[in-house]
Amino acid sequence: MERVFNFSAGPAMIDPSVLEKAASEMVCYRDKGMSVLEMSHRTGMYLDIYNEALSLFREVMGVPEGYEVLFLQGGATMEFAAIPLNLMTGSRTADYVDTGNFAHLAAEEAKKYGTVNVVASSRAANYTYIPDVAQIAFTPDADYAYITTNNTIYGTRYIHLPDTGSVPLVADASSNILSEPMDVSRFGVLYAGTQKNIGPAGMAIVMVRSDLLGRQNPLCPKVLDWAAQAKNDSMINTPNTFAIYMLKLVCEWMKQQGGVPAFHALNQAKAKLLYDAIDGSKLFSNPVEPRYRSLMNVTFVTGDEARDDAFCKYCAKNGLVNIKGHRNVGGMRASLYNAMPMAGVEKLVRTMAAFEKDNG
């Protein structure tokens, strides 16, 4: 069967060349006589893979000195609890900006461990914009301030980072990590789940400024303790060895394509093509305030649920899958992560035009 264009929000597309490389090494990795899936994480053969993955990620991401990079299990959702357990231990207060489903869930989880101030929110407007960060009054003695840089479900993104002063800025970048340049030094903690731009599901990457380690709540479980994980090279227990290996392959592929700047330019072009098609359509529309539109997750609707459903089925018949929007918003969502080629977006735009011609 011919491969389809997979617009899923995650787990998402992985470039075929990366999958083919992994397939060629699946049964026997190089000259090691076994698969990566079979290797003990304590052996030299696997530690070589781990160290190469770590070095490549730091290079491609541009992680400066003074930051630990942790490869942790549980995905981004596990970090919703790990963040307050590691940081909410001074004033026991944290500021959260509520800009979508995952930002809201993160705030709700943090309430178990201290006081959460929701200092700005677009929830009442169905998350169709990002609050003006220049107008947010952050708490001076908060242990941290929290944002989600890209809203996977509703299709919004931050266009400017807030200035939180001496309060560490913590950010979930799960759906736009490695898709555009990010100045890691602006963050106290920057983290992401891997299943969108980095590889398969099951892991989170946490970049944490070294001076923020060692503040953990005494009740923090060992596997969630960033200081303990940093001391043990993310191997307090058996890590997700295959996801780390896949991260290595993805970073190799990204370097070959020109790194983050090249992907950023491509992602801007892909998003522009699709948004222009939506804006020029009489059938489809995008509900997001234009300046806050995501480059990674493009949401759109026809205004009629039955017609939305018919369009999703029409796409599937034409090799464009997982285009249906999240249940919270309905409609359609096209996720344009790094591995989605321009050809996929071009085919989607053609398919939209053909559907509108017959159903507009």
| Rounded distance between C-alpha atoms, residue 208 and residue 144, angstroms | 12
Q: Residue 287 carries which side chain, given as an amino acid letter?
A: P
- Residue 219, SS3 per DSSP: coil
What local confidence, expressed as pLDDT, does residue 359 receive?
Answer: 85
User: What are 187-243's pLDDT values in tens digits?
Assistant: 999 999 999 999 999 999 999 999 999 999 999 999 999 999 999 999 999 999 999
Work out the average pLDDT over 160-182. Answer: 97
CB under 8 Å to 20, separation ≥6 — which residues? none
Question: Which pair of tokens denotes residue 26?
Answer: 């699946």
Q: Which amino acid is at 50?
A: Y
What residues does CATH 3.40.640.10 cover in the chain?
16-256
Contacts 24+ apart (CB under 8 A), 327-332: 328/101, 328/153, 328/154, 329/126, 329/153, 329/154, 329/299, 330/301, 330/305, 331/299, 331/300, 331/301, 331/302, 332/284, 332/299, 332/300, 332/301, 332/308
pLDDT in tens, 334-353: 999 999 999 999 999 999 99
pLDDT band, very low/low/confident/very high, at 360 (cuts 50, 70, 90): low
CATH T-level assignment (fold) for domain 16-256: Aspartate Aminotransferase; domain 2 (3.40.640)
- What angle in degrees, to the nearest 10, is found between the helix axes of 342-359 and 259-279? 10
Positions of CATH 3.90.1150.10 in the chain: 258-359
Q: Which candidate, 85, 125, 76, 82, places its Cα nearest to that of 103?
A: 76
Q: What pTM was estimated for this model as a whole?
A: 0.96
CATH for 258-359, options being 3.10.100.10, 3.20.20.80, 3.90.1150.10, 3.10.20.30: 3.90.1150.10
